[in-house]
Chain A
Amino acid sequence: MPLETPTRILVVDDDDAFRESVCAAIARDDAMVLAAQVGNAEGARQAIAGGEFDVALVDLGLPDGNGIDLIREIARTRPDADVMVVTVFGDEAHVLASIEAGATGYLLKRSLNDTLGATVRELRAGGSPISPVIARQLLQRFKKDSPTPAVVDDGGLSEREREVLLFIAKGFTVGEIANMLHLSAHTVATHVKHIYRKLAVHSRTEAVFEAGRMGLL
């Protein structure tokens, strides 16, 4: 994607060396520009309030706060921005919690140098990464939650989305799925992002519903 406005990246991580290497990776890539880099939640809040970014890389474990809260705040105040959670293992527990909070992508810390540019471009273009375990958990999540009365009907998964998740859970790559379903790889990745957004809405709805039930609203 040449000659487009570079994507502004906000980096939130308490690991200085990591932050430095991210900044280096951003600096190497013309399509990205560093918006801000902060090492704690307080700094992150100010940066979020400033709002001058397109993609936020957020580490979950911050010395003075929880990354999940930051993700939620960004999702609320900057719905057009993308949040990528930075994780060590990309494990289901961390990733799903982030997606529920509003994240639409994630990065493995150790391979960040290699993948940051491609992942950010894909994300800005509307596609999200997904692992088989997360796909399976998403299927499970929507199936399990479907009988609960939602205050706002999020519609659940479409048939196509369900199909995509099922293939991913079986280990097929986005490219293979695109072939099988006669779609572009990008469309498949877009489906994934939609599913992530649905899960976030779903979770918010559920939270509202739960709160209502508990008499908080």
Chain B
Amino acid sequence: MTRGLRVLVDLARALPAWARACASPFALVLGIFASGLPGAQGLGAAPAAASTPMSQTISRAEFCMAPGLADTLPDASCGWQTVELAKVWHSSRQDVPLVDAWYKLRFHLDAVPERSLAMYTVAFNRSGRVFVNGNLLRELGAMRDPLPLNWDRAQYLVLPAMMLRAGDNEIEIQQRIHTYRGESGWLAPVRLGSEDELRPIWQRRVFWQSDIVRLLGSCTFAIGLLMLGVWLGRRRDSMYFWFGCMALSWALQSVDSYAEMPPLPPLVWERVVVCMPVLRGVLMLMFVLSYGGMRRPVVATVAWSYFLCGAVAMFSGSMPPVGMDLWFLGFLVASLYFLYLQVLVGLRRSRVEGVLLLCAGTLDMALSAHDLVLFSEHTWADRFYLAHYSAPLYLFVIGTILVRRFTESLSAHENLAAVLEQRIDEKAAELERNYEQLVEARRNEALALERTRIMSEMHDGIGSQLTMALSLVRQMDREHDPERAGEDGRVATVLRESIEDLQLIIDSLEPVENDLLTVLGTLRYRLQDRLGKSGIDLHWNVVDLPPLPMLTPHSVLSILRIVQEAFANCLKHSGADRIAVTTGLQGEPGVDEMAHIVIVDNGRGIDLSRGAGRGLENMRRRAAALGGLLKILSQAGRTEVRLEFPTLRPG
């Protein structure tokens, strides 16, 4: 491929040592890989010392380039020459699609071995056939155009004992390559040894180079599909789409490392594979922008245009070599910017995420750079492509972050749902309460309306008439006996008491908001003038009581009548000049709470031994109707009337 990349490689190699171990981790890792990965290098290389007597490495061969495709060993006219392995060759012929070269590898056996020999080489490009002592042993890949994708595979063959002979043996290898784009053929040094010795080496190499890539590629493919599936369900979250595409592009690219045959025509496939790193970089950019919620339309447009221009130029075959170089160079520079964006986004969420992304991204970039260099060398190397390992790791990191974010938002959603549910419950309860209040209010309203109606009947009807009658009687009394003006006669007194009783009924219907003190205060207010006239000092020793639900008009009337009766007794008979009214609560609220009203006077007392009068009997009856009781303690100078009743509404 490309001169430009070679320039890059040269540049990298020309870097002084200090620059390689320099400022950014990226450059450091890039430097290491650009100068060759020591770890990967020795993997397939055989140790120099042979472990069995037969174990040997053939590093010299007879080589000739066949004039055309020939299925038999060329004769001496081919121009055999001795070459060192690994041998790299290419043909300048453009008139044929395929071209062959031949190798003759000689080795010596003291005797025909009892068991088969094994032959192993780290690199063989591309197809070919292996003969042992002139007899065809095996084809290494199909020989037709297009040739299979085994350009970076190690080869392992078993040489059956029956094909070998004592003394000199010869392995003839036919090697076939494409002629286009200056493809090279190569053969690395060939090792001979026992199967037990070489098979594990080969298997290990195949595992690391091919099997694991196949495995990771499959996983990546599955993850890509999964993410696209997630995206189909959540079109708004385009990051899943970009991530899915990124994974799929990787899975596609990894096919190149393990498939037998290219899934597309070889030239197209090669171009696809070459374009893939740049495409993946752009997809990565899109993912980062989407994941970080960044809006960089200009950057995205530039990146896509950059990719598309290069791809179109490449596929139309109009990409000049220098253009290709610049394309990759630009991509590498842009990658640094993508990495920066990505770490920025990661740090925004958490330090761990930022560091993880930085590490994975740097590693991926470094290994990709290594692969690009390797690819640009376009020749055999005892190294293999590494981005296959970093890319899945990278995708895994991003995938983990995505999954974490997904689960986070899922649990946030669930919390939200729980909160919502709770709110709905609260609202429902509130509605229920409101409804109950509404019902209560309606009922109260109806009661109030009814009360107003009765009030106005009493006020304008019987109340007015009684009052009118009282004025008439008083007027007559005054005319009849001017001396007694201001004092009610018998009829006037009956009328006044009738009005007062009516007043009591009306007061019991007044809205008192379940406050016992208002009930008692009303009575006090009504009696105030009379108490004042009688020279009685009223002590209002009340304590504030909580609203008592039992104070319905009915029970209010009972309490008013009981207390009024108690006052009437004081006023009429006791000769007291001091009355104290006390209130209080006893017992446990909601269980057995009792309210009490105590009226104490300093009069001459009631003679209880004479049996209760009608007034007292009425008081007791009314107290019982309240579910309470009346206690009367009387002696000269102190009479106590104590009314106790439960605060809960009966029933």
Contact = CB atoms under 8 A, between A and B. Distances in A.
Interface of A: 15, 17-18, 20-21, 24, 61, 87-89, 91-94, 109-111, 113-115, 131-133, 136-137, 140, 168-173, 176
Nearest to A28: B485
28 contacts: A17-B471, A17-B472, A17-B475, A20-B475, A61-B464, A88-B463, A88-B467, A89-B455, A91-B459, A92-B511, A93-B452, A109-B471, A111-B529, A114-B529, A115-B529, A131-B525, A132-B517, A132-B522, A132-B524, A133-B507, A169-B515, A170-B517, A170-B521, A171-B517, A171-B518, A171-B520, A172-B540, A173-B540
Contacts of B475: 17, 20-21
Given A91-B506, A114-B486, A171-B518, 19 more contacts: A61-B460, A89-B459, A89-B503, A89-B506, A89-B507, A93-B456, A110-B467, A111-B529, A133-B512, A136-B512, A136-B518, A169-B515, A170-B518, A170-B542, A171-B520, A171-B522, A171-B542, A173-B524, A176-B540
Given A88-B459, A131-B525, A133-B522, A21 B474 contact: yes
Contacts of B513: 136, 140
B544 A170 contact: yes
Nearest to A172: B540
A88 B515 CA distance: 24
B253 to A, nearest CB: 71
Nearest to A20: B475
B455 A91 contact: yes
A46 B193 CA distance: 140
Interface in B486-519: 486, 496, 499, 502-503, 506-507, 510-513, 515, 517-518
Given A132-B521, A132-B522, A168-B521, A18 B458 contact: no
A110 B522 CA distance: 17
B468 interface: yes
B444 interface: no
Contact of A21 (B451, B471, B499, B520): B471
Contacts, number: 108
Nearest to A15: B468
Interface in B435-487: 451-452, 455-456, 458-460, 463-464, 467-468, 470-472, 474-475, 478, 486
Contacts of B474: 21, 113
Interface of B: 451-452, 455-456, 458-460, 463-464, 467-468, 470-472, 474-475, 478, 486, 496, 499, 502-503, 506-507, 510-513, 515, 517-518, 520-522, 524-525, 528-529, 540, 542, 544
A110 B464 contact: no
A110 B529 CA distance: 13
Contacts of A132: 517-518, 521-522, 524-525
A133 B524 CA distance: 12
Contact of B486 (A113, A169, A170): A113
Contacts of B510: 91-92, 133
A68 to B, nearest CB: 13
Nearest to B517: A170
B517 A169 contact: yes
Sorted nearest first, the 8 A-B pairs with minimum C-beta distance are A171-B521, A132-B521, A88-B463, A170-B517, A17-B471, A133-B510, A109-B467, A132-B518
Contacts of A133: 507, 510-512, 518, 522
Given A136-B515, A169-B518, A15 B471 contact: yes
Contacts of A17: 468, 471-472, 475
Given A17-B471, A110-B470, A113-B474, A173 B528 contact: yes
Contacts of B542: 170-171
Contact of A18 (B451, B471, B486): B471
Which of A113, A136, A170, A176 has the most chain B CB atoms inside 10 A of its CB?
A: A170
Contacts of B511: 92, 133, 136-137, 140
Contacts of B525: 131-132, 171
A92 B510 CA distance: 7
A16 B237 CA distance: 91
A197 to B, nearest CB: 22
Nearest to B475: A17
B503 A18 contact: no
A89 B515 contact: no
A10 B256 CA distance: 116
A132 B458 CA distance: 21
Nearest to B528: A173
A133 B507 CA distance: 9
Contacts of A170: 515, 517-518, 521, 542, 544
B459 A94 contact: yes
Residue among A89, A115, A168 having the largest count of chain B Cβ atoms under 10 Å: A89
Contacts of A88: 458-459, 463-464, 467, 499
Contacts of B520: 171
A20 B471 CA distance: 9
Contacts of B529: 111, 114-115
A82 B346 CA distance: 81
Contacts of B512: 133, 136
A166 to B, nearest CB: 9
Residue from the set B471, B472, B486, B522 with the largest chain A CB neighbour count within 10 Å: B471
A88 B460 CA distance: 8
A133 B513 CA distance: 9
Contact of A87 (B459, B468, B515): B459
B522 A131 contact: yes
A176 B467 CA distance: 31
Interface hub of A88, A137, A140 (most chain B Cβ within 10 A): A88
A110 to B, nearest CB: 5
B278 to A, nearest CB: 68
A92 B455 CA distance: 10
A179 to B, nearest CB: 11
B467 A18 contact: yes
Contacts of B464: 15, 61, 88
A137 B459 CA distance: 20
Contacts of B467: 15, 18, 88, 109-110
B463 A171 contact: no
Nearest to A111: B529
A17 B502 CA distance: 21
Nearest to A19: B471
B627 to A, nearest CB: 24
